[in-house]
Chain A
Amino acid sequence: MNSKITWEDLRQEFLEIGGPGECWRSEVKRICQFRIRQKQNLSLPAELFGFVDWDAEDLAQTVITDRLLARRQAQFIVDTVDSIDHARRLLSNEVSFTLEDRRVPNQVDNVWLNLEPRLRQAGWTPTDRKAGNGVEREEYQINEIARKLLNLKRLRNRGQQRLSPLFAGETLAGFAEEIVRDYPKVSAYVIQMALRMALSKISPRMSMEAVGNTQDEFAAVAGQSGLSWVDDLDSSEGLSEHAARVLEVLGAEGSEIAFLIASGASQSEIAAVIGVSRPTAIKRIAQTEELLLKTLKSLKLGEEENLKILQEVFALLGVGISDGVMVK
């Protein structure tokens, strides 16, 4: 029966009763059923979106009340659309937005919830974004705070646990004090944007810059993190030169691939970051590994020195070795 609904039916119904009616409900429900099947195929529990179980009727009612009525999106559809396919695509978007609105908090929310009380404890009071500084100043602050956050020592991921804590309480407290000291009037918006920037998928260029591109800056960060290679860093000045040369040979893409491999990224993830297909990524990974070995061999040093140079390369890339395991 649903397949027989035309755009004219939906439009007429809307104009007659001044809002979405039975035709709209059945159309939305049909899209919800399809979307629920997709979620079930991915084994996503309904609780993830705040529902007790996957029920198309519940989801359809939520879409209609929250989006089509409360946000007048039904009116937008009537104003914009002139075919049933176009209407279905927009309704499908509304279902996506509803699911997104109801999604349980993500890692950004998680870190913010842990950080905010510590910020207040350190003397921070939320300021109105409009009363703050200009857009340029905001952008600068977002970048700076994101950079500082990326340089914090992270906790190990606890397997499959969702929202495994990223930072220890003490680390966040120190971070909060640093923010209050450096940016006393920063708005909550700026901090949240910085969290989002730092914790979202990081583009290759950003990850290289965010980690710090000078030896002094990195050493300062590394000094706080307590990684095992820090003790040897200052004793061999030649190491950093060799490491810099290795990175130069690897180039921007090669360095990024090395960073991702060391971070435990899968081939598909590496492909997504460098913007190529998986087979191409596999070839590039092999090329990078070969180039890295060739460059190290060309230095004609012992195995121990090569290992130290490799550690230094990873250090420059923002990867350390702790307890024999590579950590970001």
Chain B
Amino acid sequence: MKNNYQHFKFEVGQIRKLDSIMGIASSRLVAIAEVDSKDATCLVFLLGNTTDAATPRDVVLSIDVTNLPYEVALMGDYLARADQARLINNPILGHIPHALIENIRSAILDNPFGGIKFNDSTFGVQTGSYPAQKFDAVWTFRDAEAANFALLTFVRNKTSLEYAVKFYITNIDNFEAFAEPDVPPDALRLIAISQERIEVPA
């Protein structure tokens, strides 16, 4: 329960609980990999406790690295975008160094197939070694984790009306954000019609 005063500040590497969606998906621990304040979202890695069954595409993080009281396995392929609203009410449980998160991200992107070629001697973390086999219990478990994680997260479409509305609501008190080159046109339209009309005398 430490660092409670920092609840409202999102930083890369923070470990938090991603809230469940009642009746649809259950909560999970995640590590923040990227923060985007424009639409109040974060890219998050899924964390699990199955360190004994961590595959070569998972990174096992010791308690020294995360400051958690237990080991966790960062599931390399489970990276997706989540709303900050689902994270903000939960305390920061631990922290993964920013540089380590970046190393993991690049290792995963550089090795899209097979085991991650990742050995970070600076932080002393290693990839798992459990041989993933089709149809075994771990395979089924990971499949279920992927399905649950997909329900908790989403794929952002910057041309969608949903993104524009979110952008508009998030930045309604920050007009400077609407001057950025990548502002969604629908958000500009929303801000335009929501402002008071300026009466110009004839």
Q: Which residues of A lie under 8 Å from residue B129 when comparing CB positions? A: 189, 193
Does A203 contact B70, Cβ atoms closer than 8 Å? no
The B contact surface, by secondary structure, is loop
Is residue B17 within 8 Å, beta carbon to beta carbon, of the partner chain?
Answer: yes
Interface 0/1 of A65-100, CB less than 8 Å to B? 000000111011001111101100110010011001
Closest A residue by C-beta to B70: A72
Is residue A154 within 8 Å, beta carbon to beta carbon, of the partner chain?
Answer: no
Interface 0/1 of A183-199, CB less than 8 Å to B? 00000010001001100
Which positions 48-96 of chain B face chain A at CB distance < 8 Å? 49-50, 52, 68-72, 93
Is residue B97 within 8 Å, beta carbon to beta carbon, of the partner chain?
Answer: no
Q: Which of A96, A189, A197 contacts B131 (CB 8 A)?
A: A197
Does A80 contact B117, Cβ atoms closer than 8 Å? no
Does B69 contact A75, Cβ atoms closer than 8 Å? yes
A134 CA / B141 CA spacing, docked (Å): 30
A139 CA / B114 CA spacing, docked (Å): 11
Known: A80-B17, A83-B26. A136 touches B117 (CB 8 A): yes
Is residue B28 within 8 Å, beta carbon to beta carbon, of the partner chain?
Answer: yes
Is residue A276 within 8 Å, beta carbon to beta carbon, of the partner chain?
Answer: no
Is residue B11 within 8 Å, beta carbon to beta carbon, of the partner chain?
Answer: no
Expressed in whole angstroms, the minimum distance between the Cβ of B91 and any Cβ of chain A is 9
Does B70 contact A73, Cβ atoms closer than 8 Å? yes
Does A196 contact B131, Cβ atoms closer than 8 Å? yes
The size bracket of the interface on B is 20 to 34
Q: Which of B28, B115, B135 contacts A272 (CB 8 A)?
A: B135
Q: Which residues of A lie under 8 Å from residue B20 when comparing CB positions? A: 82-83, 86
Q: Which residues of B lie under 8 Å from residue A82 when comparing CB positions? A: 17, 19-20, 26-27
Q: Which residues of A lie under 8 Å from residue B29 when comparing CB positions? A: 76, 79-80
Expressed in whole angstroms, the minimum distance between the Cβ of B148 and any Cβ of chain A is 10
Does B135 contact A76, Cβ atoms closer than 8 Å? no
Does B115 contact A139, Cβ atoms closer than 8 Å? yes
Expressed in whole angstroms, the minimum distance between the Cβ of A167 and any Cβ of chain B is 21
Does A75 contact B134, Cβ atoms closer than 8 Å? no
Which positions 114-151 of chain A face chain B at CB distance < 8 Å? 130, 134-136, 139
Closest A residue by C-beta to B121: A130
A193 CA / B135 CA spacing, docked (Å): 20
A201 CA / B29 CA spacing, docked (Å): 32
Expressed in whole angstroms, the minimum distance between the Cβ of A212 and any Cβ of chain B is 22
Q: Which of B27, B71, B133, B134 contacts A80 (CB 8 A)?
A: B27
With contacts A80-B28, A86-B20, A193-B129 known, what are 20 further pairs, Cβ within 8 A?
Answer: A76-B70, A79-B29, A79-B68, A79-B93, A80-B17, A81-B27, A82-B26, A83-B26, A85-B26, A90-B49, A93-B50, A135-B115, A135-B117, A135-B119, A136-B117, A196-B131, A200-B131, A201-B133, A201-B136, A275-B134
**15 interchain pairs (CB within 8 A)?**
A76-B29, A76-B72, A79-B93, A80-B28, A80-B29, A85-B26, A86-B20, A93-B141, A135-B117, A136-B117, A193-B131, A197-B131, A201-B136, A203-B133, A203-B134
Residues of B within 8 A of A (CB): 17, 19-20, 26-29, 49-50, 52, 68-72, 93, 115, 117, 119, 121, 129, 131, 133-137, 141
Residues of A within 8 A of B (CB): 71-73, 75-76, 79-83, 85-86, 89-90, 93, 96-97, 100, 130, 134-136, 139, 189, 193, 196-197, 200-201, 203, 272, 275
Q: 8 closest Cβ contacts across the A-B interface?
A: A72-B70, A86-B26, A72-B69, A135-B117, A76-B49, A76-B70, A75-B69, A82-B27
